[in-house]
Chains A and B, each alone.
Chain A
């Protein structure tokens, strides 16, 4: 090794060690920040309501739970049951009040679909035979689009539903 090589190598080793320490600290901090959401669950994390061996049973369960209507489950909470089937969401239009906690129960009766509400972090895979749930509170009135974001065939791009958030009637 030339003197330049020696000097370069020595300095490289020092920097390398410092760099690795920095990387590990950074990733640890990121991990801790992410973990915060495990402890403090905002409801957005997909959870599982039930499993079924018959892929249409989940649809029936959801239907029995009154598909097409938004069910009031508490003073300021609502449940919505939704099924994806190529290529539409049932119900296709949902009205929910502003500021209420809405729990979505989502399943599919044929292939995989993706339940994405544009402009929100709601993002859940609709799987035949499995009912998944997420919770979300809409703080803004207006029309939100439900976009299927898991490929489901020829008209996948046209599988669009709507969540309409209504202003609260003055109480």
Chain B
């Protein structure tokens, strides 16, 4: 709009000067590669599912790999939803704090985290590919998979909480060295995320260890579907925050620097994380609005809690927008939208994260639809729901992690990206493909198209009689899916190409952001300690008491779940297991 020219090109990251982090860098690289290998398999299957909804059945041609659509869908959900996200997150949430604090992580514990998750993932892969466990990623009993599936899931989950002790140790050591100082921001956010996840894991872990593991091993004969479903969602809702919070860490902690600016508000970032910790635990049963066995009062309380958990995400959107606006204006952008155009769009890492954040507008809005119980009655278990979460985890998390990989691989390996252009291309195609796909899925859901359904295997006439009305949206689904294939493979071309053939170059340093206000500052890539009471805001000081937050969350969770589980515990159903695929 205005004629003022702005600074073109990407922001130049400072060069890494501290060469002393070899073992940590290697371990982080392992986590990254393992996670993205899972995504490569998972994302390759996704478009087949998209074609399915448009009536194109690719599965007969794939019989040597997948017996059914449902086997492929189990692999897609487990590898993308658990294995990909867990590996990247468990690497990141140790590596970033270690570099921020300048503290060595316990390599034994961090390595054990990797080892456990790798064993768990391999066991899951074995159980899924031999078609013994096509139970989907929610593994609701009384569908019964093989012990390798449940034991693998147990070990994977146990592995994924190991970063918590590593973080606690590093934070304690840093606090000893800097008495009376506020925990630096990225460490704080990582710690709250892991505390949230460790609490949340109690649901699925008790379901697995007390019920599904012994059941699949034949030690107990029957199982109660409702109790287990409820325990699953005790973890299954917070897991969406375990997907999102690492992306928020990157947005708050790094992105504003990458974009050439500063983080607008440090205390607000802390508060967002504290709210996410408190609200994400007690609301899991909002996934059960359609289930019998819930009192109306509890449904109402769940609605209130669910609406509350949206608040921190909306605050994140605001703070992120402000930080980006600041960056854009620092780069010379002006006017209402000029700052947005002035962002360093030629940096694929920035483009990935900003575009991912944009899709979250649709993802967040549709989440509020799901959370409003009577609207949920219309969309529950239709394609609306996967439509919703592909513009949360499938874009926000996946694209932010892709963006992280674009600076992290050069940072970890000292190799330059083989092609910035292909990287940018992959990011834009992912954005466009995922948006078209998600809009198609959500729209089709309004016609009652069920999720998790091999509709393309129906006789042609039946498919058309049932879902012909949704022809336009199902076409969008297929188009989006095919674009996503292109995006996926161009991304992996850059990913593996750089690992193998990237030219040697200086390592960029971790781009920790400085805050415009609040206690944290990173001049040189390591946090500068800020004493509580001096410059640290009141809010940041209060929020230092993480154990109080944990206690509050635990109390709220128990208060929410005792009344929910009560009728189920008093009316136990003894269901035998079923293998129906």
Interface residues of A (CB under 8 A from B): 1, 4-5, 8-9, 12-13, 15-16, 19-20, 23-24, 27-28, 30-31, 33-35, 37-38, 41-42, 44-49, 51-55, 86, 110-112, 114, 116, 118-119, 121-125, 127-133, 145, 147-154, 156-158, 160
Contacts and interface: CB of A to CB of B under 8 A. Distances in A.
Nearest to B385: A149
A154 B455 contact: no
Interface in B96-155: 136, 140, 142-143
Interface in B58-115: 68, 70
Nearest to B52: A157
Contacts of A154: 68, 70, 580-581
Interface of B: 68, 70, 136, 140, 142-143, 224-226, 229, 262, 264-265, 268, 288-294, 296-297, 299-300, 303-304, 307-308, 310-311, 314-315, 318-319, 322, 326, 329, 368, 372-374, 376-378, 380-382, 447-448, 450-455, 457-458, 462, 466, 516-517, 567, 571-576, 578, 580-581
Contact of A54 (B377, B378, B380, B574): B574
Contact of B225 (A30, A48, A49, A127): A127
Contacts of A119: 447-448
Given A30-B307, A156-B454, 12 more contacts: A8-B326, A15-B322, A19-B315, A54-B574, A112-B142, A119-B447, A123-B376, A128-B575, A150-B381, A154-B70, A156-B453, A157-B457
A102 to B, nearest CB: 16
Contact of A53 (B368, B378, B517, B572): B572
Contacts of A41: 296
B225 A128 contact: yes
Q: Which of B229, B262, B315, B571 has the most CB of A within 10 A?
A: B571
B310 to A, nearest CB: 6
A116 B450 contact: yes
9 contacts: A41-B296, A46-B292, A49-B292, A110-B142, A111-B140, A112-B142, A121-B377, A125-B291, A133-B292
Nearest to B144: A111
Contacts of B462: 158, 160
Closest A-B pairs by Cβ, 8 of them: A153-B580, A129-B573, A132-B292, A51-B571, A118-B448, A149-B381, A149-B450, A157-B453
Given A24-B311, A123-B380, A151-B70, A158 B458 contact: yes
A37 B571 contact: no
Contact of B292 (A35, A38, A47): A47
Contact of B322 (A12, A44, A147): A12
Given A16-B319, A157-B453, A31 B307 contact: yes
A63 B315 CA distance: 53
A111 B322 contact: no
Contact of A48 (B293, B374, B454, B576): B293
Contacts of B574: 53-55, 129
Contacts of B447: 118-119
Nearest to B378: A121
A102 B329 CA distance: 61
